[in-house]
Structure 1
């Protein structure tokens, strides 16, 4: 039997052409692109630089497992970082930006990209609750970094910020260095602030600008102030709170209940008041609660005596 290699080759070609049909290539390319996107979503964006472990954890996006993050551990895009009571951590991103996280905090590291050759990059960090310090690094395009809270979106320019986010969403941004533009809630309104100023955005989305409060250098002292929204009450603090605890929606606290009690107290003396008046009048049978007793209080008692 004589074999013809050319004929065998031709017999295989239809199968090859069928495999390389445009639709098949498109599906293969789409699957590959999806794989790349999935890999990029877990891209490393920084590391932990706090040497002492203080209870910070990270949860990768869509994963049920939460892991502690120690000194030099990597953090990735879409990680959710949390701290508990007395907890804290400090991270350094790709351009040497430093990001401190205080106790009782939650933040999602949405993304952070940086090209060391061009020093161009971008990022997004979403702070849900807690105290944070952001110190910009080498990125020239830091206006592309967005810092997001429940009531604001911040655009930064060469900035060092101390940010407090209350559990009711109240946000306070203290500008230690540089400048920021704050978009209030979902409004088109943008509030600028520069060094030495702070912007306060309550849940009502009525922003105000005032003098920055003194902020601690020590990471351990970086905590949400007691006078910021409902944070202290909702976090398990003293429900009576301090009188200043009504900033941006925190007015419904122990102070208001004390006021309610003070309103009730003037009504109690009239209930006991008729008793002394009823003793000198035996004809009324000591009826302190009767209508006649009430009339005596009205001024007729003097005429009867």
Structure 2
């Protein structure tokens, strides 16, 4: 006798495929995927011309190019090569520009458009960056981090340079910031037109902001960033004399007296004895009268 399909259902299948259980499981899984995806996306690329920028998702080994309107997600690491650049817009319309030879990790960025409250963290490893705050009212909850500084922002436009050794320079174009050098609990405030420099020694120097270009390609780390690091105490932190507590090479030159050149060694006389050549008739020290004075003294 041939069994007709479906006439004798398997009891195991009937227990597993209950309509209510399957629907609940599918709905929960779909909601989890939707929630996870929406939470991860923090912005998009707004630079229309592709300039070689890539993003590496968290835990992934392969990087991918990011083009105009591509999404960026939390924990993405964005990199640019020589001459590369990109510009991103986050959830609250904050703009974040990345210059050439840069690396930055987009740790997180959340924003509630109803309350305009949010928070975020961006970790800049090396390169040049521009941060222009958006609609977030609680932007003091956004932390900008470099190897030597943590910045708390307030309605801010900043241009930030991070050198290979971690030296950080922050130029305040608008708004204000509080800069925490390294793990120091004390903060250094800065406002419009000021520049804060933090070298690896974690000393701080505040001076006038440098002139800046608008083009992304001009956001390269300045060649003189190391000079500012030295002036801020990057080489000899803790010594007095430099503007930020360090001692520059120029200060060392001024603090040490210069040595006078030594006179040349005397040439030997014709008689074989060393000493300067003199003329008995013209030199008063070796003349006949000089000899008489010497005898009288004896």
TM-score normalized with structure 1 length:
0.67
Q: Which residue of 2 aligns with 1:182?
A: 179
Q: Which residue of 1 aligns with 2:72?
A: 75
**What are the equivalent positions in structure 2 for 1:103-252 lying under 5 Å apart?**
103-229=100-226, 246-247=230-231
CA distance in 2, matches of 1:46, 1:301: 86
Aligned length in residues: 236
**What are the equivalent positions in structure 2 for 1:92-103 lying under 5 Å apart?**
92-103=89-100
Structure 1 position 302 matched with structure 2 position 277:
yes
CA distance in 2, matches of 1:128, 1:277: 65
4+ residue runs over 2 A deviation:
38-42, 243-252, 300-304
Deviation at 1:206, TM superposition (A): 1.0
5+ residue gaps in structure 2?
1-14, 16-28, 237-247, 253-258, 280-298
Deviation at 1:208, TM superposition (A): 1.7
Greater Rg over alpha carbons, structure: 2
Q: Which residue of 1 aligns with 2:284?
A: none
- The 8 Å contact of residues 227 and 247 in structure 1, kept in 2 or not, is answered as no
Deviation at 1:41, TM superposition (A): 10
* Secondary structure in structure 2 of the residue aligned to 1:50: coil
Deviations 1:241-264 (A, max 9, x none): xx7784557769xx98xx9xxxxx
CA distance in 1, matches of 2:147, 2:137: 27
* Secondary structure in structure 2 of the residue aligned to 1:161: strand
TM-score normalized with structure 2 length:
0.68
Deviation at 1:87, TM superposition (A): 0.9
Deviations 1:131-184 (A, max 9, x none): 100000011110100000111111111100011111111111111000111111
Assess, with a 3 A threshold, how the Cα gap between structure 1 residues 126 and 41 changes in structure 2: closer, same or farther: farther
Assess, with a 3 A threshold, how the Cα gap between structure 1 residues 153 and 49 changes in structure 2: closer, same or farther: same
* Secondary structure in structure 1 of the residue aligned to 2:82: coil
CA distance in 2, matches of 1:39, 1:249: 46
CA distance in 2, matches of 1:192, 1:244: 19
5+ residue gaps in structure 1?
1-14, 16-31, 230-242, 260-265, 284-291
Deviation at 1:210, TM superposition (A): 1.3
The structure richer in helix per residue is: 1
Assess, with a 3 A threshold, how the Cα gap between structure 1 residues 247 and 69 changes in structure 2: closer, same or farther: farther
**Cα RMSD between the aligned structures?**
3.6
Deviation at 1:302, TM superposition (A): 3.2
- The 8 Å contact of residues 41 and 78 in structure 1, kept in 2 or not, is answered as no
**What are the equivalent positions in structure 2 for 1:247-258 lying under 5 Å apart?**
247=231
- The 8 Å contact of residues 199 and 229 in structure 2, kept in 1 or not, is answered as no
